[in-house]
Amino acid sequence: MRKPRLTDPLRRPLFRRLAATYAVNELGDWMGIVALSVLVFDRTDSAFATAGLFLGTRFLPALLAPALVARVELPQPRFALPVIYCGEAAAFGGLALLADDFSLAGVIVLAALDGALALSGRALTRAVVARLLEPAGELRAGNAILNVAFTGGAAAGPAIAGLVVAGFGVQTALLLDAASFYAIAVILLTAGPLPEVEPDPSDFRRRLRAGFAYIRHNKTLRRLLTAQGAAFVFFAAVLPIEVIYAKQTLGAGDAGYGLLLASWGVGMVLGSIVFAASRRTPLPTLLFFSTLAVGAGYLGMAAAPSLAAACIAAALGGSGNGVQWVSAISAVQELTAERMQARVMSVLESIGAALPGVGFLLGGLVATNRSPRAAFVIAGVGVLAIVAIATPLLGRKWPANDGKERPDVLDAGDEIMVELIAAEVLPSPDRRPLT
């Protein structure tokens, strides 16, 4: 039997289209973030207003996304996904109009709507990819490819967005963003039928409640989502104070701040390559060591005496970041029944959008009352503490696929176990599908 290769998912035309839309979506998200940040700050000259924008684009959508996914998972994905992306395009078209006739409330409302649609689109895309690739044992390879697209967009997106905004203006950037989402909709609409799970005929409220009940009764999945949510708090704690750390603590200036961010971005790209090359490494091991790398990177930045040392530590943390998120996604998919993929992924996406807001507040308070270095210490120690607590709580064996599809998936007696670091060697990907 031929061993699966990393490039196998790319042999599927549908996956190639999904991967292309995922990459374009990431670039579009950065275009929107940069353009809207510039627009709000230029028109208000208020850090508080800019913070309100980020609250609207992250926290509010996180509250809306699970309910929205419960509504849109019933229609065929071939039509549901293009409608979502057309909605995003319309939202950015409206934001482009507000660039001339500015209204802070209007910008925040439209940005929140776009954020909810973006989270729902990513969750539904991940569910479609799982349905397409998991039966052939190619899901982990597919996730690796999507992760390369994601980290590449995260590394290049801010630079491209900054050039477009500086060269052509905020309104042009927002209109280009709208056009990119229309292009995604066309790519998906002309892709042909997308795989779908057997639809649940109940109304969306029951589907929404069933999704939360599924998580509540699957102890391992619940604990993994809780640990990831706690990790997000500390992952994000340093983000608001990185500019202060670079310019004041290290005395590196604007160029040094840019170099620090670039070092983290390069690390993320390297991490995505590591994940792609580590298909035989059990997911628990990848989760364990990648999370440790993020924590160690933060502690290294806290102790760094110079910009060069801080950049090395940032590259270490970024490489962990590039492995950790995709490993968490794969782990959640591994633990989730096929018919619950979209709803559970929407919860994970919402956690990733909402919990960093708590981290922003934590990091800002520590930096204000102590110092930026203290914020990095708190973040690093917090990440390592989560690893120490979560590893024994999550169990000793990686879950097998059996039991995910039984009708009584909510029976607590049939719970499956997962760990952050493996206790034994697992079957290789050519004998059992790994996510």
pTM, two decimals, is 0.73
Indicate the CATH number of 201-435 among 1.20.120.530, 1.10.1760.20, 1.20.1250.20, 2.60.34.10. Answer: 1.20.1250.20
Query: In Å, how far are 2, 60, 315, 316, 422 from 294, measured between CA atoms?
Result: 36, 27, 10, 7, 19
d(CA 41, CA 173): 16
Q: What is the pLDDT of residue 95?
A: 93
Residue-by-residue DSSP string for 333-399: HHHS-GGGHHHHHHHHHHHHHHHHHHHHHHHHHHHHHT-HHHHHHHHHHHHHHHHHHHHHHT-SSPP
Q: How far apart are CA 299 and CA 182, in angstroms?
A: 43
Choosing among 3.10.129.10, 3.60.21.10, 3.40.50.11540, 1.20.1250.20, the CATH entry for 1-199 is 1.20.1250.20
Q: pLDDT at position 408, please? A: 43
CA dihedral defined by 126, 129, 131, 133, rounded to 10 degrees?
A: -140
CA separation for the pair 142, 16 (Å, rounded): 10
Task: Provide the pLDDT for residue 397.
Answer: 63
Residue with tokens 């056009």: 179
pLDDT mean for each 10 residues of the chain (435 residues): 71 89 82 82 75 73 78 78 93 92 90 88 86 85 84 74 83 91 91 72 73 87 92 88 82 77 85 85 88 96 93 94 90 85 84 84 85 93 94 68 42 38 35 33
CATH 1.20.1250.20 residue window(s) in the chain = 1-199, 201-435
Largest alpha-carbon pair distance within the chain?
Answer: 63
pLDDT at 398: 56
- Please state, in angstroms and rounded to a whole number, the distance separating the CA atoms of residues 217 and 223: 11
CA dihedral 68, 71, 76, 78 (to 10 degrees): -20
